[in-house]
Homo-oligomer: A and B are copies of this chain.
Amino acid sequence: MSYTSAQQPQQEAGFRTLYHFPLCPFSRKVRLVLGEKRLPVGLEVESYWQRRPEFLAINPAGQVPVMIEANDQPVVGSQAIVEYLEELESTPSLLGQTLGERAETRRLISWFDEKFNSEVTKNLLGERIIKRFSGMGEPDSTAIRAGRENILYHLHYIAYLAERRNWLAGDHFSVADCAAAAHLSVLDYIGDVPWDRQLAAKDWYVRVKSRPSFRTLLQDRLSGLPPVAHYVELDS
C-alpha cells in the first residue's frame, strides 16, 4: 500500500517540516492550525508503526505528528505543536483572547483528542483502517459497534454547542474546531459519520470544510482506499 498527500517539495516550502500520516486526526489538527496561521510547512508522510530508527531518535514515543523547525528544533506531539505555534505566531489567536476563552478551548481540545478519540476514532478508524495498514490484526466487530453507537452521542454534543455558539468554543474559530473537524474528517473519509442524524453538527462541519486551511486535507488520498463520494464536496 502507498499513499499520497498534499505534499509540497521540501526545498520550496523550506522552513519547517511536519512528519504526519494522512488519516491521523492529530496530524490533521496541526495542519489546520498551520493553515489558519498561514505558516508554510513541508509535509512528510511517516508510517510510524514501522518504527524507523531516525524517527524514534526524534520521538521515542514513535508517534506522529512531529514538527522540525528550520533551526532543527523538534516539536513533538500535537498539543505541544499547537501551543508552540500559538506562542510563535499569536495572530490570529486560535486558543482565545481571555484566560476563560483559552480554558474553554483547551477543555474541548481534550474532549476530542482524548474522549472522542478513545470512544469513536480508535473504534472506527483504528479497527477498520489502521489495523489493516499496520498489519496489527483483524478488526474487532464489538469495538466497531461501540464506535458507531458512541459517535451519535458526540454528534449530539457538537450540535448542542453549534446551536448555542458561533464556533464550538465560543465566538471565534479555534483549535477546538480544528480538533473536532480533524477527527470527523478522517471518519468522513471512510464514510463513518451519520451526518443526517445531527444537522446542526453537519452545518458546522460544512463551514469548517469550506475554509482554505481545510483544502490540503481534502486532497489526501490513500491508494487502495479512496474516500467516499461526498468527502470533498463543500456543501455536504
Contact = CB atoms under 8 A, between A and B. Distances in A.
Given A79-B110, A83-B83, A107-B80, A73 B100 contact: yes
A230 to B, nearest CB: 30
A99 B79 contact: no
Interface in A82-114: 83-84, 87-88, 99-100, 102-103, 106-107, 109-111, 114
A87 B102 contact: yes
Interface residues of A, number: 26
Contacts of A73: 99-100, 103
A157 B59 CA distance: 13
Interface string A48-79: 00000000000111000000000001111101
Q: Give the number of times this chain occurs in the complex, counting copies.
A: 2
Contacts of A84: 99, 102-103, 106
Given A79-B110, A106-B80, A60 B99 contact: no
Contacts of A103: 73-76, 80, 84
A215 interface: no
Interface of A: 59-61, 73-77, 79-80, 83-84, 87-88, 99-100, 102-103, 106-107, 109-111, 114-115, 157
8 shortest interchain CB distances as A-B pairs: A80-B106, A76-B107, A75-B103, A77-B110, A73-B100, A84-B103, A61-B115, A80-B107
